Amino acid sequence: MNVVGNDGGFFALAFIPFVTVPLGQGRVSGDSIEGGVGIPWALDVPGWDVGFQSTFSVIHHDVGAGRHAEFANSVSVGHTLVGNLTLSAEFFSSVSTEDRAGWVGTVDTWLTFQVSKNLRLDGGVYIGVTAPADNLHPWIGVTWQY
């Protein structure tokens, strides 16, 4: 849900509510439903993509029954390398209220290629900088806007 700055201006802010309903073994359990809200915001800096996001989630414990809150924040910058190819970098941080959960911090980088107005290809790697984070998490993706 856009709050301000969707189609112009120096500042943009939105709310992204989400619900996760895992499907497994042919049934949905009320204990497995998770959700939260993301709050992305961006600044219009000529020649650069500058973005921030804070997310609040209520998710199921990794071990045992019950739920806990998680708080995540990220800051990212991107810049066009050549043509439709962009290089981006991000610092991501996540803190959980689950017992014995550690702070997850990663430095992330990725390339994005805008194939057409509605199709984008991207891939990159998340690099863990704290012990609870994965050491290396490579990924690829496709985004299609309809």
- In order along its 146 residues, the chain shows pLDDT tens digits of 888 887 778 899 999 999 988 776 666 565 678 999 999 999 989 999 999 999 999 988 777 778 899 999 999 999 999 999 999 999 999 999 988 888 999 999 999 999 999 999 999 999 999 999 999 999 999 999 88
Nearest residue to 57 (alpha-carbon basis) of 72, 32, 36: 36
pLDDT at 24: 66
Q: Which residues contact 115 (CB under 8 A, 6 or more apart)?
A: 84, 121
Nearest residue to 108 (alpha-carbon basis) of 122, 94, 88: 88
pLDDT at 71: 97
pLDDT at 146: 85
pLDDT at 21: 83
Superfamily of domain 2-144: monomeric porin ompg (2.40.160.40)
What is d(CA 17, CA 21) in angstroms, rounded to the nearest whole number?
Answer: 14
Predicted TM-score (pTM) of the model is: 0.82
